[in-house]
Amino acid sequence: MTPRGGSPVLSMRELVRLEDLVADALAQARGPSPERDALLDAQGVYDLTAQVVAGYAFHTALSGRTGLEATKRLAYYAWAAGALPRETTGIHRIGGATVLEALHVAQTALTTHHGDEELADMLAWYHAQAPACFASCPTLSRLNAFCTARRPDGWRTRGWDAEQFHGRGGLGRYWTNILKRTT
């Protein structure tokens, strides 16, 4: 696969491998926040996450399960870019336009019935944790209304477990940690 820019796009599996490299670098980075930040930048971790986000953005255009899974992962990155500290996620070089585009993709998936309950529950949770990430643009009004109307902890009633998040990169690690803290 080659997007408009001419460089090949990594497969979903290859993107997870990059996310694993980011997770390893994050686990090894020590010291106060500013030092960790500088180290992660020097190691190219932030550039790797930008590459991962670009890959998932490309894959959202695919139909079926791959496109939906890419949408979920891209929505996670868009939210985490504004909600979580970059030296704990590796997410830094994701511009506002990319975040907005990612949230528009999620909004479209939900409003055109190409989403699923898992995506809907994830977005409601993200919205409740950091609503400012969603409120930045009036064109996201349908997504904001959807998330506000939905129970932010609705996922708790669906029997989610850590196994369903195995091999799903940063999104999977985030939700596995949430499940460990709440069960």
**pLDDT grade for 126, boundaries at 50, 70 and 90:** very high
Answer positive or negative: Cα dihedral of 35, 129, 98, 69.
positive
Determine the Cα–Cα distance for residues 49 and 33; give it in Å rounded to an integer. Answer: 18
Judged against a pLDDT cut of 60, whether residue 3 lies above it is answered with no
Can you give the pLDDT at residue 46?
Answer: 93
Judged against a pLDDT cut of 90, whether residue 40 lies above it is answered with yes
**pLDDT grade for 149, boundaries at 50, 70 and 90:** very high
Instruction: Give domain status of residue 43, yes or no.
Output: yes
Contact, 90 vs 171, CB < 8 A? no
Can you give the pLDDT at residue 45?
Answer: 94
**pLDDT grade for 8, boundaries at 50, 70 and 90:** low
Judged against a pLDDT cut of 50, whether residue 158 lies above it is answered with yes
Can you give the pLDDT at residue 166?
Answer: 96
The total of structural domains in the chain comes to 1
Judged against a pLDDT cut of 80, whether residue 151 lies above it is answered with yes
Helices (H), the chain: 12-28, 33-42, 45-59, 64-83, 86-89, 96-111, 117-129, 132-135, 141-149, 169-182
Contact, 115 vs 65, CB < 8 A? no
Q: For the segment 78-121, what is each residue's pLDDT rounded down to a tens digit?
A: 999 989 988 889 998 787 888 888 999 999 998 888 889 999 99
Instruction: Give domain status of residue 1, yes or no.
Output: no
Instruction: Give domain status of residue 5, yes or no.
Output: no
Judged against a pLDDT cut of 80, whether residue 136 lies above it is answered with no
Instruction: Give domain status of residue 116, yes or no.
Output: yes
Instruction: Give domain status of residue 2, yes or no.
Output: no
Determine the Cα–Cα distance for residues 155 and 170; give it in Å rounded to an integer. Answer: 18
Can you give the pLDDT at residue 7?
Answer: 56
Instruction: Give domain status of residue 49, yes or no.
Output: yes
- List Cβ neighbours of 164 (8 Å cut-off, separation of 6 or more): none
Structure tokens at 22: 């980011």
Q: What DSSP string runs through 25-58?
A: HHHH--SSHHHHHHHHHHTTHHHHHHHHHHHHHH
| DSSP 3-state of 127 | helix
Domain range for 46 is 12-182
Contact, 170 vs 23, CB < 8 A? yes
Residue 167 or 115, more confident = 167
Instruction: Give domain status of residue 29, yes or no.
Output: yes
Distances in whole angstroms, Cα of residue 68 to Cα of each of 105, 116, 132, 170: 10, 8, 24, 16
